[in-house]
Chains A and B, each alone.
Chain A
Amino acid sequence: MHLALRLLTICVFAMGCSSAPKTIQVARETSPVESRDEASFMRGPHVNAFYGRYRMPWKHQSAIHVAHGAAHDVFELAHLQEHEKTDERFNAEMLEGTLKHPPKTEAEMQTYGPYIGQSIWQLYRAIDWTHIHHGATYDVMSSDEIAWDQKKEWTDKTVRHYLEKLDVARSPAPLDVTMRRAGVMMKPYFTYFRNYYPKSNNYFYAAHWWHPVIYEAMMLGGNGKLQDEIVRATDELTPAVFKDPPLRMPLSREIMPRYAQMSPESANIFDNLHMLHGIAYDIMAYPNWSLDQKKAELNRVVRAMAYQPGDEKLARKFSIPHPEMDPRRYEAWMKTPEGSMTDIMEEMMLEMMPMMMPNITASQNSSVMAQLKMKLTPGMQEGEIQGSLHDALMKIMPEIKMAKGAMEPGESSPEMMNMMMAGWTKKHGMIPDAPMIAMDKEPGATVRSVALTEGGSQ
């Protein structure tokens, strides 16, 4: 039975792999006029629970979403020559907004980034819709009207609503899969944002620490008072983490392992959204494409990383490196450039090498991997080549073989993506699924029932 499930997973994966290029070709837009196509949130007893219960964490979330909206216009309209000044100013303003004056209500992307809202609407649809999903899943976990043993059922309902009501849902497959489908690593913009705007980039790395650890705090706390204590203790780390941010994008599997086991679909959706943010900022920061070219490329990426039927079957295909992590502690391993995100990138580079660099020497190989590591680290390192990862590799190996036209905006290389997906299948397709987490025993329930009994006897 177990073997049959694994085989089914591989088949589904293989179908997804072979359909990816088709999706890209069929979905290319022909008209500049697009419909608005928005949808509303899922109704239920959970609605508004996060806001009602955790006002300061809610405000932190709102501030982060304001920063996301603003970043699109700021980095698109900035001049790269002034990147240090722009980086300094944006980071300072967003830190101020997050830590000193967080807004009490949520922001749609267009309210703070109206220029890109009028130019690349599909990007904002994808982001706003996933932010609504963020809100719904926090609400489910915060709501004491949803019993602990029903949290998964309600979270699954929010995932279904998210996947079914709009056609821009992010995939519930792991980031390993969607990054391979997106095929952005060798694009001429990749790593621009983290290399030239490191402070702003790291602000968002801190933001992508914040979201998962709040879920994890809720997972540790149960429905009662213990949840309040752990969420507040975790959220109180916010100033310290934003001032000393992680140097990579933390993934759900690393810093919300329990939530990722409860709802791998939702966890992957958030990883996929957070990566989309990073890719969008790379494209905004890239100075050599017109806005129309950026739109073509971002629309391609939004589609490539979107939900494809069958993705749910892949949702548990990840390992959990720190199953016992405590969200109330900002550990050294959370801050380093090395981690699951970097592992994915290095794997992809090794998968691409045989096609791009069939005659690579050992020394060239080590130069490529060294440049990759530097490019993935925010800022510019000693010995790092200017420009994107693509620019750096072209300098090391000018004879590198790129698929014709694949580097152009809105284009991709199906052969390369298939090769990477085959690499992922070989390495990860047969790994055991991330385990389910038991939700029948509520954390803190014993403490709560004792307290209630004592309270009742007084």
Chain B
Amino acid sequence: MKYLILFACIAVAGASDVSIAGDHTNLEEGVPVRIEDAYPIGYEGREVLVYSSYERTGDGEDRFELTPRLEYGFAHNWQAEFEAPFIFGGTDKTTSGNVDLSLMYNFNTELLWVPAISLKGTAEVPSGIDSAGVDTRAALILTKTLSRSTFFHRLHLNLEWRHNSSPSSEEREDRYVAGLGYQVRLGPNNQLLADVFREQDLKKNKNHNVAEIGLRHQWDPLTVLALGVGAGFADQSPDFRITLGLQRALNF
């Protein structure tokens, strides 16, 4: 628990000297659940996101993760991301400290019968623990609003293929992650989120499933705070996970 509190403090302190954000309805991976929506940050938007999570793994280990991320809308409908997840606790720390560089492109705004469609590519630079070779990911992200009238509901689908460029004998070379998410507005300041994910683990013959629920609260016009909880089910899934997140835009 002391790690969780520590990470929450770091997350808040790390963002306290910056200002501005406001991308409340656009969902970001990990803030506070894993599902991501298909809309990128606006052109010339700059945001910092920090989220920290505690997970009780399926093997009974404590796993803490702290992830800072920068997002930049470098062109219309494009988003660049720089992220470095750090892993702590009595668990396998392989890949901790790797730097992920991502590009996301959104093809369209949704229509009544056509979802918004985005593709996202990520290169994982092996700067962290026990990492070798540049691993890559490719994701298809769909978002569809369901609403008529003033209600606001959305469904999201994330499908990701991950390629391990230098697998050891115990590791998979290629694996997939699939997630389905739901989003609903609760009043003007809150978004309730729920998702379910299935992921093939890096280790061969291991898979896990997680269901999560989370709340994104717009703290001020430009800051979003997030809290999520999740639980694993079947296979080698984690027992539970708690995530705290903060998202703020940069005023420079």
Interface residues in chain A, defined as those with a beta carbon under 8 Å from any beta carbon in chain B:
32-41, 43-44, 47-48, 51, 58, 62, 66, 69-70, 73-74, 77, 103-108, 110-115, 117-119, 121, 135, 165-166
Question: A111–B108 contact, CB under 8 A?
Answer: no
Question: B188–A40 contact, CB under 8 A?
Answer: no
Question: A111–B76 contact, CB under 8 A?
Answer: no
Chain B residue numbers with a CB within 8 Å of A70 are 150
Question: B222–A48 contact, CB under 8 A?
Answer: yes
Q: Which residue of B lies closest to A42 (CB)?
A: B44
Question: A36–B106 contact, CB under 8 A?
Answer: yes
| B221 at interface, CB cutoff 8 A | yes
Given contacts A37-B76, A51-B221, contact A103 B188 (CB under 8 A): yes
Give Cα distance in the complex from A178 to B101, angstroms. Answer: 45
Give Cα distance in the complex from A38 to B187, angstroms. Answer: 24
Chain B residue numbers with a CB within 8 Å of A166 are 43
| B33 at interface, CB cutoff 8 A | no
Q: Mark B1-21, 1 if CB is under 8 A from A, else 0.
A: 000000000000000000110
Given contacts A33-B111, A62-B188, A117-B145, contact A39 B43 (CB under 8 A): yes
Question: A40–B41 contact, CB under 8 A?
Answer: yes
| B201 at interface, CB cutoff 8 A | no
Interface residues in chain B, defined as those with a beta carbon under 8 Å from any beta carbon in chain A:
19-20, 22, 24-25, 39-46, 73, 76-77, 106-112, 114, 116, 145, 147-152, 185, 187-189, 218, 220-222, 249-252
Chain A residue numbers with a CB within 8 Å of B42 are 38-40
Given contacts A37-B77, A43-B251, A105-B188, contact A48 B152 (CB under 8 A): no
Chain B residue numbers with a CB within 8 Å of A33 are 107-108, 111, 114
Q: Which residue of B lies closest to A105 (CB)?
A: B218
Question: A35–B76 contact, CB under 8 A?
Answer: yes
Known A105-B24, A114-B152, A117-B145; further 17 A-B contacts with Cβ < 8 A = A33-B107, A33-B108, A35-B108, A36-B77, A39-B44, A40-B43, A40-B45, A44-B251, A48-B20, A74-B149, A104-B188, A104-B189, A105-B220, A110-B145, A111-B25, A165-B43, A166-B43
Give Cα distance in the complex from A111 to B188, angstroms. Answer: 9
Give Cα distance in the complex from A48 to B41, angstroms. Answer: 19
Give Cα distance in the complex from A259 to B239, angstroms. Answer: 60
Between A and B, 26 residue pairs with Cβ closer than 8 Å are: A35-B108, A36-B39, A36-B77, A36-B108, A43-B20, A43-B250, A43-B251, A44-B251, A48-B220, A51-B220, A73-B149, A73-B150, A74-B149, A77-B148, A77-B149, A103-B187, A105-B24, A105-B189, A106-B22, A106-B221, A110-B152, A112-B150, A112-B152, A114-B147, A115-B147, A118-B112
Question: Which applies to chain B's interface (DSSP): helix, strand, loop or mixed?
Answer: loop
Interface centre among B25, B40, B148 (most CB of A within 10 A): B148
Give Cα distance in the complex from A69 to B152, angstroms. Answer: 11
Question: B19–A165 contact, CB under 8 A?
Answer: no
Question: A165–B106 contact, CB under 8 A?
Answer: no
Q: Which 9 A-B pairs have the closest CB atoms?
A: A103-B188, A40-B45, A114-B147, A38-B42, A39-B43, A40-B42, A36-B109, A105-B218, A70-B150
Q: Which residue of B lies closest to A119 (CB)?
A: B112
Give Cα distance in the complex from A105 to B148, angstroms. Answer: 23
Give Cα distance in the complex from A73 to B114, angstroms. Answer: 19
Question: A118–B76 contact, CB under 8 A?
Answer: no
Nearest-CB distance from B185 to chain A (Å)?
A: 6
Question: B189–A108 contact, CB under 8 A?
Answer: no
Nearest-CB distance from A267 to chain B (Å)?
A: 23
Question: A119–B188 contact, CB under 8 A?
Answer: no
Give Cα distance in the complex from A37 to B251, angstroms. Answer: 21
Chain B residue numbers with a CB within 8 Å of A44 are 251
Question: A40–B249 contact, CB under 8 A?
Answer: yes
Question: B150–A74 contact, CB under 8 A?
Answer: yes
Chain B residue numbers with a CB within 8 Å of A41 are 20
Nearest-CB distance from A407 to chain B (Å)?
A: 26
Q: Which residue of A lies closest to B25 (CB)?
A: A111
Give Cα distance in the complex from A100 to B109, angstroms. Answer: 35
